[in-house]
Chain A
Amino acid sequence: MSRLSETFRRLAKEKKTALMPFITAGDPDMDTSYRLLLELEQNGADIIELGIPFSDPIADGLTIQRSSQRSLKKGANVTKIMDMLTRIREKSKIPIVFMTYYNLVYHYGVEKFVKDSVDSGANGLIIPDLPPEEAFDLRSAADRYGLDIIFLLAPTSTPERIKLISNSSSGFIYYVSLTGITGARTSLADGIKSQVESISHQSDTPVAVGFGISTPAQAAQIAACADGVIVGSALINIIESNLADEDALIKKAGEFILSLRREMDKTNDK
Chain B
Amino acid sequence: MTLPDNKGHFGIYGGKYVPETLMPALAELEENYNKFKDDSDFQAELQYYLKQAVGRPTPLYYAKRLTKYLGGAKIYLKREDLCHTGAHKINNTLGQALLAVRMGKKRIIAETGAGQHGVATATAAAMFGLECEIFMGQEDIDRQKLNVFRMRLLGAKVNPVTSGSQTLKDAVNETMRDWVTNVGSTYYIIGSVVGPHPYPMIVRDFQAVIGNEAKAQILQSENRLPDYLAACVGGGSNSMGLFYPFIEDSEVKLIGIEAAGLGVDTNKHAASLSAGSLGVLHGSMSYLLQEEDGQITPAHSISAGLDYPGVGPEHSWLKDTGRAEYHSITDKEALSAFDLLSKLEGIIPALESSHAIAYLQKMAPHTKKDEIIILCLSGRGDKDVTQVS
By a beta-carbon cutoff of 8 Å, the part of chain A in contact with chain B is 54-59, 61-62, 65, 69, 72, 77-79, 101-104, 106-108, 128-131, 133-134, 151-158, 161, 165, 176, 179-181
Contacts and interface: CB of A to CB of B under 8 A. Distances in A.
Shortest beta-carbon contacts, A-B, top 7:
A107-B294, A154-B21, A180-B181, A77-B293, A55-B295, A104-B294, A59-B19
Contacts of B252: none
Contact of B20 (A101, A104, A152): A152
Interface stretch (B220-228, B276-284, B376-384): B276-284
Contact of A152 (B19, B169, B296): B19
A71 B213 CA distance: 51
A59 B283 CA distance: 11
Contacts of B295: 54-55, 72, 104
Nearest to B293: A77
Contact of B293 (A106, A107, A161, A165): A107
A269 B180 CA distance: 36
B318 interface: no
A100 to B, nearest CB: 9
Nearest to A72: B295
A107 B279 contact: yes
Contact of A56 (B18, B22, B169, B184): B169
Contacts of A130: 17
B20 A134 contact: no
A56 B173 contact: yes
Contacts, number: 115
B23 A103 contact: no
A102 B24 contact: no
A179 B177 contact: no
20 contacts: A55-B296, A56-B169, A56-B170, A56-B173, A58-B177, A65-B164, A72-B295, A79-B293, A103-B280, A103-B294, A107-B277, A128-B20, A131-B20, A156-B21, A157-B20, A157-B23, A161-B24, A165-B20, A179-B181, A181-B181
A131 B181 contact: no
B97 interface: no
Nearest to B170: A56
A179 B173 contact: no
B19 A58 contact: yes
A133 to B, nearest CB: 6
Contact of A131 (B23, B280, B282, B288): B23
B177 A61 contact: yes
Contacts of A154: 19-21
Q: Chain A CB within 10 Å — which of B20, B183, B281 has the most? A: B20
Interface string B271-311: 00000011111110100101001111000000000000000
A107 B177 contact: no
B15 A156 contact: no
Contact of A102 (B22, B164, B280): B280
B280 A129 contact: yes
Contacts of B282: 56, 58
A180 B282 CA distance: 16
Contacts of A69: 164
A103 B184 contact: no
Contact of B294 (A108, A131, A133): A108
Contacts of A157: 20, 23-24
Contacts of B19: 58-59, 128-129, 152, 154, 176
B283 A129 contact: yes
A62 B161 CA distance: 11
Given A56-B173, A78-B293, A103 B281 contact: yes
A72 B7 CA distance: 34
A183 B15 CA distance: 27
Contacts of A102: 17, 280
Contacts of B247: none
B16 A134 contact: yes
B25 interface: yes
Contacts of B47: none
A102 B282 CA distance: 11
B340 interface: no
Nearest to A128: B19
Contacts of B176: 58
Contact of B24 (A104, A156, A180): A156
Contacts of A58: 18-19, 173, 176-177, 180, 282
